[in-house]
Amino acid sequence: LHPEPTEVRSVIKDVVEMLKPLADTKALELVVDCDRAPATVYTDSLRLQQIVTNLLSNAIRYTKSGTIWLSCETLGDRQWLLAVKDTGIGIAPEEQSLVFDPFYRAENNEVHVPDSTGLGLAIVSQLVNLMQGKIELKSQLGVGSTFTVTWPLKIQA
């Protein structure tokens, strides 16, 4: 773990710029709202980037049409939150805790997206843990999903 002062908006901006072309191929709208985000957090910026990349690429992959929202905000005086919300295929209630298991792919994935290995969220969940955060999933089949991560503003090395 390499905690360092990290500019949240710039990490988000880099990931969005990298994945925007992919969202464009599906005509998905990408909305970023980080106005209420902390300017700087003390965290592992490379791992933060990895987490955002995984969550955002899932949102793009599992959404056929509509909008993906990426938002960040400060929570009280010790924490901050990052949320990735989509209008995608959604995940059934009984599978919502399983998607964080290695190699698990939900029923919704019957299309078997090429190259889907089921590892992304397992990695995300390990990294979030390592970074002293918590990840939460809210989802409804056919409506969409929201992954919310809460972290300390300053993580311990």
Site for ligand ATP in 51-90 (CB under 6 A): 58-59, 62, 86, 88-90
Per partner kind, with CB cut-offs from 5 to 8 A, the member of ligand ATP, Mg ion, none near residue 59 is: ligand ATP
- The residue (of 76 and 103) whose beta carbon lies closer to ligand ATP is 103
Instruction: Give least dist CB 6 to Mg ion, A.
Output: 23
Rule CB under 6 A: say whether 91 interacts with ligand ATP. yes
Q: Where in the chain does DSSP place strands (E)? A: 4-7, 29-36, 40-43, 67-75, 79-86, 134-140, 144-152
Alpha helix positions (H), the chain: 8-25, 45-61, 120-130
Per partner kind, with CB cut-offs from 5 to 8 A, the member of ligand ATP, Mg ion, none near residue 99 is: ligand ATP
Site for ligand ATP in 119-138 (CB under 6 A): 119-122
Q: How many CA atoms lie within 13 A of 60 on its CB side?
A: 23
Residues 6+ apart with CB under 8 A from 24: none
For CA atoms 94, 126, 75, 32, give the dihedral sign. Answer: negative
Instruction: Give least dist CB 5 to ligand ATP, A.
Output: 29
Alpha helix positions (H), 39-134: 45-61, 120-130
- The residue (of 62 and 151) whose beta carbon lies closer to ligand ATP is 62
Binding interface with ligand ATP (CB under 6 A): 58-59, 62, 86, 88-91, 99, 104-106, 108-109, 115-122, 145
